[in-house]
């Protein structure tokens, strides 16, 4: 059964559109279950009716015509109850409704399962049989499993359809929303340009072309190139291979013929598809067919076809590598964006980035933040190979992308982009102004950095210090551990650039999703594993070299602060402090005259929240890492788009934890700052200020917005808003009451779509 299921899903996955996918589903499920009917009904969101979309066994002419409201018929019942329904004789059920068009009177037994994607009922899968009988438990389980598997496939196929402007009913262009994770803040409205890694056939996008002859010529040249290569390869191996083994090359050559793969590609090109897309389509079909075969030898042929496909593609891409056209407002889309790809877009044309793979800590996201390019990562559901050339909105605050946006949405986001531009223009004036509320509360705004490129942006935007320098960033872009001398030079640059303002350097925080290519950590559960201080305490040599480099770098500047990540117990803190003192003693013995810098602890693990007092007693300051604290308090992976909607730093539990940390830190007379993304959210910043945080540290992009906002809101008003937020037990209520209050204060300007994560 499992094997059957896997095969069906695989086949459905490779269907070219929703209609084909549904056709395969009903045919294969009917076969697998030995029933007389299998049908799929999909819920049309516009009419709120379940529409018969595919059937095997009912009259096919009723497809698209038969539909029922959620309160009608057995299908409606399955959809509204969100439970399977298994009936020996459907006609006996009070909800049974007869549709003459379907020829349904012939079928007695009925088994229906809801198709649910991300909590939303998208349709109902039904099987029927002539004789009266109850389907057994095994059959019911199979159908339920099938519909659970198919939900994602249907959602994906629907999204693909809407991308090309063909919705379920083929009704014009549809807007679609895809959820990923934030990579770099900011909003962008532009046109997608899909960039492919060299010769990766699976990621080639569809593209319509007018000049079919030119594509045919390109493809014929590629065919000739590969043929020639094959002949040469075969000749080269003549001394090493037996003649029958060399016959493999003849098979390759045969596949290139007009009557085989070569001819099929040409036929697809003639329909107006570009050569690369036609090649992907034909090779994909062949590979799928081979992979579905039970015979091992034939399954192996799939890799030959793939290989051939890649070789042809390499020729085609060589021919086109110079011809990518970048729109003035290019949104670069790729399966896995690389820093090198950024360099290929002509200057001034790149407005946004989208990557299917990766997280906020991928190299390209780090670069994007330093360059101020709005970026969304981990957009796993985006059928990215289909989006080339279409209009797109990137919301790097929320980690969302919209394709084919409606006029209204485009206008809203264009307004945000324009506002950000104006704000950036008015930056000079704002930069010189202090962050002080109308009733005189002073709130220092610091910045988070990683690359040296962050420094210039931070200074342009008037940062008053560095609240978090992520030292793992220079480690991540290196090919090996940087030496003490190399680290010293890097740290010195940061310290000197901000001098005399303070620079808070966090010790190496690798693990989780921050990987070093030269120090791989493979774990089942990396966010609960060997991460941050746990790694460096196990490797004192790494920790000592790093702290020595920091201390030496600060000689004569004395603006260094050291911050320890991922502390979960007093014991870890004591060990780390011991090592820092040792390093300090060593550098002084070597003749470097530096005072002991202030040392702080990150509060980003729930255990640290409850030990704030004990931790505060041993250090000079605390800094809350709200990104990890939210993740660990709510048990929501910060990089998993599937649970992105649950990741919420305005959750009452997070707000209460933050409040506790500030109260307990101040109780010990120690200052406390916050350096997670939350601090850069203008609305959340009001609450943080009211809680009493001594400074907020954020990405440079958001700093002017937060300053603008806090300069409008009295501290007394902020305290009122905080009291109200803390009185609610429901995150949604907190969001809406905060939003409403800010609107009433006339501060809606910063809280439009995309303005931040919270509102």
Interface residues with Mg ion (CB under 5 A) are: 604, 625, 628
Shortest separation between residue 379's beta carbon and Mg ion, angstroms: 23
CA distance 334 to 331: 10
Structure tokens that stand for 697 in this block: 């540290």
100 secondary structure, DSSP code? G
Residue 124: strand pairing partners: 41, 114
**Element at 163 (helix H, strand E):** helix 137-163
Q: Helix or strand or coil: residue 354?
A: strand
Q: Residues 690, 665: contact at Cβ < 8 Å?
A: no
247 contact partners, CB below 8 Å, separation of at least 6: none
C-alpha torsion angle, residues 697, 445, 752, 374 (rounded to 10): -50
Residues 497-516, interacting with ligand PEP (CB under 6 A): 509
Which one from 93, 363, 539, 666 is the annotated catalytic residue?
Answer: 363
Nearer to ligand PEP, 534 or 717 (CB): 534
Residue 334: strand pairing partners: 355
- Residue 285, Cβ density class (10 Å: 0-12 exposed, 13-18 middle, ≥19 buried): middle
CB atoms within 10 A of CB 480: 11
- The residue at minimum Cβ distance from ligand PEP is 625
Answer yes or no whether residue 400 interacts with ligand PEP by CB under 6 A.
no
Smallest Cα–Cα separation from 413: which of 745, 701, 190?
190
**Secondary structure of 562-628 in the HEC alphabet?**
EEECCCCCHHHHHHHHHHHHHHHHHHHHCCCCCCCCCEEEEECCHHHHHCHHHHHHHCCEEEECHHH
Tell me the site size for ligand PEP, rule CB under 6 A. Answer: 10
Instruction: Note if 578 is an active site residue.
Output: no
Instruction: Note if 435 is an active site residue.
Output: no
CB atoms within 10 A of CB 711: 15
Tracing tokens 């009266």 back to the chain, one arrives at 132
Looking at 113, 126, 157, 675, which residue binds ligand PEP (CB under 6 A)?
675
Dihedral pair phi/psi, residue 435, rounded to 5°: -85, 95
Number of helices and strands in the chain (H, E): 27, 22
CA distance 507 to 276: 47
Nearer to ligand PEP, 374 or 565 (CB): 565
Which one from 156, 435, 675, 728 is the annotated catalytic residue?
Answer: 675
CB atoms within 10 A of CB 337: 26
Answer yes or no whether residue 468 interacts with ligand PEP by CB under 6 A.
yes
Relative to beta strand 672-674, strand 621-624 is parallel
Q: Residues 44, 68: contact at Cβ < 8 Å?
A: no
Answer yes or no whether residue 391 interacts with ligand PEP by CB under 6 A.
no
Smallest Cα–Cα separation from 424: which of 182, 753, 183, 707?
707
Nearer to ligand PEP, 470 or 659 (CB): 470
CA distance 256 to 698: 57
Shortest separation between residue 693's beta carbon and ligand PEP, angstroms: 13
What is the x/- site pattern for ligand PEP, positions 612-631, by CB under 6 A? -------------xxxx---
Shortest separation between residue 465's beta carbon and ligand PEP, angstroms: 15
Nearer to Mg ion, 550 or 608 (CB): 608
- Does residue 500 have a cis peptide bond before it, meaning omega lies within 30 degrees of 0? yes
Nearer to ligand PEP, 399 or 625 (CB): 625
CA distance 354 to 399: 10
Nearer to ligand PEP, 465 or 676 (CB): 676
Q: Residues 689, 715: contact at Cβ < 8 Å?
A: yes
CA distance 661 to 622: 9
Residue 695: strand pairing partners: 673
CB atoms within 10 A of CB 2: 8
Question: Residue 103: left (phi > 0), alpha (psi -120 to 50), or beta?
Answer: left
What is the x/- site pattern for ligand PEP, positions 625-664, by CB under 6 A? xxxx------------------------------------
CA distance 57 to 63: 12
Nearer to Mg ion, 464 or 628 (CB): 628
Q: Which does 626 bind (CB under 5 to 8 A by kind): ligand PEP, Mg ion, none?
A: ligand PEP
Nearer to ligand PEP, 374 or 680 (CB): 680
Nearer to Mg ion, 63 or 674 (CB): 674
User: What sign does the CA torsion over 13, 16, 22, 27 have?
Assistant: negative
Binding site for ligand PEP (CB under 6 A): 468, 470, 509, 604, 625-628, 675-676
Residues labelled as active-site residues: 363, 675
């Amino acid at each position: 059964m499992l094997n059957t299921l896997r095969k069906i899903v695989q086949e459905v996955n490779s269907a070219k559109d929703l209609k084909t996918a549904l056709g395969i589903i009903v045919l294969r499920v009917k076969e697998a279950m030995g029933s007389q009917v299998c049908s799929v009904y999909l819920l049309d969101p516009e009419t709120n009716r379940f529409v018969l979309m595919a059937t095997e066994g009912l009259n096919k002419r009723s497809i698209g015509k038969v539909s029922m409201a959620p309160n009608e018929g057995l299908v409606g019942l399955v959809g509204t109850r969100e439970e399977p329904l298994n009936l020996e004789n459907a006609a006996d059920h009070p909800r049974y409704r007869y549709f003459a068009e379907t020829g349904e009177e012939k079928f007695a037994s009925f088994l229906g399962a809801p198709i649910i994607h991300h909590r939303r009922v998208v349709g109902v899968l039904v099987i029927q049989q002539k004789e009266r009988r109850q389907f057994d438990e095994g059959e019911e389980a199979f159908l339920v499993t099938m519909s659970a598997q198919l939900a994602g496939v249907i959602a994906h196929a629907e999204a693909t359809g809407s991308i090309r402007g063909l919705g379920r009913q083929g009704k014009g262009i549809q807007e679609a929303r895809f959820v990923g994770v934030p990579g770099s803040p900011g909003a962008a409205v532009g046109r997608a340009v899909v960039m492919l890694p060299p010769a990766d056939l699976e990621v080639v996008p569809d593209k319509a072309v007018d000049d079919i002859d030119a594509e045919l010529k390109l493809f014929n040249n590629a065919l000739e190139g590969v043929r020639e290569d094959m002949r040469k390869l075969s000749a080269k191996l003549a001394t090493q291979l037996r003649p029958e083994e060399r016959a493999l090359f003849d098979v390759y050559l045969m596949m290139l013929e007009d009557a085989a793969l070569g001819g099929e590609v040409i036929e697809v090109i003639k329909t107006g598809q570009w050569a690369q897309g036609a090649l992907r389509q034909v090779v994909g079909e062949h590979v799928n067919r081979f992979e579905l075969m039970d015979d091992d030898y034939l399954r192996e042929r799939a890799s030959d076809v793939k290989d051939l496909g890649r070789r042809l593609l390499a020729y085609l891409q060589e021919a086109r590598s110079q011809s990518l056209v970048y729109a003035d407002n290019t949104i670069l889309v790729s399966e896995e964006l690389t820093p090198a790809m950024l360099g290929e877009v002509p200057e001034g044309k790149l407005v946004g980035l989208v990557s299917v793979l990766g997280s906020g800590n991928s190299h390209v996201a780090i670069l994007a933040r330093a360059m101020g390019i709005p970026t969304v990562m981990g957009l796993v559901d985006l059928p990215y190979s289909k989006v080339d050339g279409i209009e797109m909105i990137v919301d790097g605050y929320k980690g969302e992308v919209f394709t084919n946006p409606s006029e209204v949405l485009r206008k809203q986001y264009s307004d945000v982009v324009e506002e950000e531009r104006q704000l950036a223009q008015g930056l000079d004036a704002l930069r010189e102004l202090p962050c002080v509320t109308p009733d005189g509360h002073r709130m220092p705004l610091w910045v988070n950095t990683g690359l040296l490129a962050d420094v210039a942006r931070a200074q342009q935007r008037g940062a008053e210090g560095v609240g978090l320098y992520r030292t793992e960033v220079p480690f991540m872009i290196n090919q090996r551990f940087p030496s003490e001398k190399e680290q010293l030079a890097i740290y010195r640059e940061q310290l000197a650039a901000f001098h005399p303002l303070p620079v808070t350097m966090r010790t190496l925080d690798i693990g989780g999703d921050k990987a070093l290519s030269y120090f791989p950590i493979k774990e089942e559960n990396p966010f609960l594993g060997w991460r941050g201080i746990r790694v460096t305490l196990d490797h004192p040599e790494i920790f000592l070299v790093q702290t020595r480099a920091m201390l030496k770098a600060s000689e004569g500047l004395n603006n260094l602060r050291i911050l320890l990540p991922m502390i979960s117990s007093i014991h870890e803190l004591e060990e780390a402090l011991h090592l820092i003192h040792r390093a300090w003693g060593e550098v002084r013995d070597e003749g470097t005259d530096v005072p002991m810098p202030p040392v702080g602890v990150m509060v980003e693990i729930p255990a640290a929240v409850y030990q704030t007092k004990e931790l505060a007693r041993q250090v000079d300051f605390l800094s809350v890492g709200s990104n990890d604290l939210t993740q660990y308090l709510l048990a929501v992976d910060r990089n998993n788009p599937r649970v992105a909607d649950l990741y919420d730093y305005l959750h009452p539990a997070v707000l209460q934890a933050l409040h506790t940390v500030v109260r307990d830190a101040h109780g010990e007379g120690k200052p406390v700052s916050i350096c997670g993304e939350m601090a850069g959210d203008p609305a959340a910043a009001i609450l943080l200020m009211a809680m009493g945080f001594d400074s907020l540290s954020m990405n440079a992009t958001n700093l002017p917005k937060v300053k603008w906002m806090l300069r409008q809101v009295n501290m007394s008003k902020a305290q009122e808003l905080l009291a109200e937020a803390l009185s609610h037990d429901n995150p949604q209520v907190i969001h809406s009451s905060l939003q409403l209050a800010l609107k009433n204060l006339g501060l809606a300007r910063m809280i439009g779509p995309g303005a931040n994560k919270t509102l």
